[in-house]
Amino acid sequence: MEQKISFEDFVFIRDYIHKISGIYLDYEKEYLIRQRIEPILKDVKVNSFAEFSNIIKDGRSMRFKESIISAITTNETSFFRDDHPFKTFYKYIIPKLIDKIRRNKENKAKAPTKIRIWSAACSTGQEAYSISMLIDEYLYNNGIFNITKNDFYILATDIDNPVLKTAMSGCYDKMAISRGISDDRLKKYFVGSENKWEIKNELKEMVDFQKCSLHEGISNARFGGTFDVILARNVLIYFDTKTKDEILSRIHQLMLEDSFLILGATENLYGLSNKFESVTFENSLLFKKKEISYKPVIKKF
């Protein structure tokens, strides 16, 4: 039977979820807490939401933390989701990245650096693997042999352990494959048959999956450098304005001057950070760091 949840307990549990995940649920999403958290309470033999609130109040919630995060996150994703950002990546961004690698390689005074791409909130990995396929295809289609997949580093992170496990395994069922993978790409980039397909090692090796909570753990030091491209698609929608702003500020610090931020197809930054400016490539809206001009402060005496 579905458990009732008092308003007081709802607020308490909502604030706990916000603290551990950054995800903010208003009262309209009360049903989500009931539907997704109740099975966990049953599993661990906690009889009511009131009892669960008390466990949180007493600081005994650590054992639930990961399962609550897993239950409350929405992991919807697919290969080449929404298509046009990936077309833009192939047509406009990869050529710029290739130029940059060439310039880097020509500059003998500097040790060559890899192009760094970050799929923040990667879920089960399809976004990162789609990017790796496009890089491989671009190099092959353009007969580029002096630049290789090794010139690229793709970091892919998420807060949710089970989705990261799938992402790292690179294994997908028929349904996941049917959402975005053409027959040609299936033959070229996967091994397997029927209902179990695994990404080939050559693509797996391009992606470094790590656990990371966007609302707390992102910094230059944490990731060992800044990025040329950051994909933060379909994740900011789950956060409140303050959390979104804080995350965007940190993303801004992690972007190189000439880098791109890619959000979800229906997302934009209206009413949020003013540190970015939009750039349109055909159907895609991307974001760059705004050039900040520092005006001298003139003091009047």
Out of 10, 12, 13, 21, the only residue in the binding site for ligand SAM (CB under 6 A) is: 21
Of 28 and 76, which has the nearer Cβ to ligand SAM?
Answer: 76
Strands 196-199 and 171-172, how do they pair?
A: antiparallel
Of 48 and 273, which has the nearer Cβ to ligand SAM?
Answer: 273
130 lies in the site for ligand SAM, by CB under 6 A: no
Of 78 and 147, which has the nearer Cβ to ligand SAM?
Answer: 78
Cβ neighbours of residue 102 under 8 Å, at least 6 residues apart?
147
20 lies in the site for ligand SAM, by CB under 6 A: no
Find residue 280's DSSP bridge partners. 285
75 lies in the site for ligand SAM, by CB under 6 A: yes
Out of 74, 104, 169, 226, the only residue in the binding site for ligand SAM (CB under 6 A) is: 74
CB of 58 to ligand SAM, least distance (A): 25
CA 149 – CA 169 distance, rounded (Å) = 20
Of 166 and 259, which has the nearer Cβ to ligand SAM?
Answer: 166
Tell me the two tokens of residue 58.
């007493």
Q: Is 104 helix (H, G, I), strand (E, B) or coil?
A: helix
Q: What is the DSSP secondary structure assignment for residue 40, as one 8-state letter?
A: H
Report which secondary-structure segment, H or E, holds 221. helix 220-223
Q: Is 263 helix (H, G, I), strand (E, B) or coil?
A: strand
235 lies in the site for ligand SAM, by CB under 6 A: yes
228 lies in the site for ligand SAM, by CB under 6 A: no
CB of 157 to ligand SAM, least distance (A): 7
| Packing angle, helices 7-21 and 49-57, rounded to 10 | 50
Of 115 and 159, which has the nearer Cβ to ligand SAM?
Answer: 159
CA 63 to each of CA 66, 78, 283: distance values in angstroms, whole numbers, following the listed order: 7, 31, 45
Out of 80, 153, 238, 276, the only residue in the binding site for ligand SAM (CB under 6 A) is: 238
76 lies in the site for ligand SAM, by CB under 6 A: yes
Q: Is 295 helix (H, G, I), strand (E, B) or coil?
A: coil
Q: Which residues bind ligand SAM (CB under 6 A)?
A: 21-23, 73-77, 81, 121, 123, 127, 158-160, 163, 213-215, 233-235, 238, 264
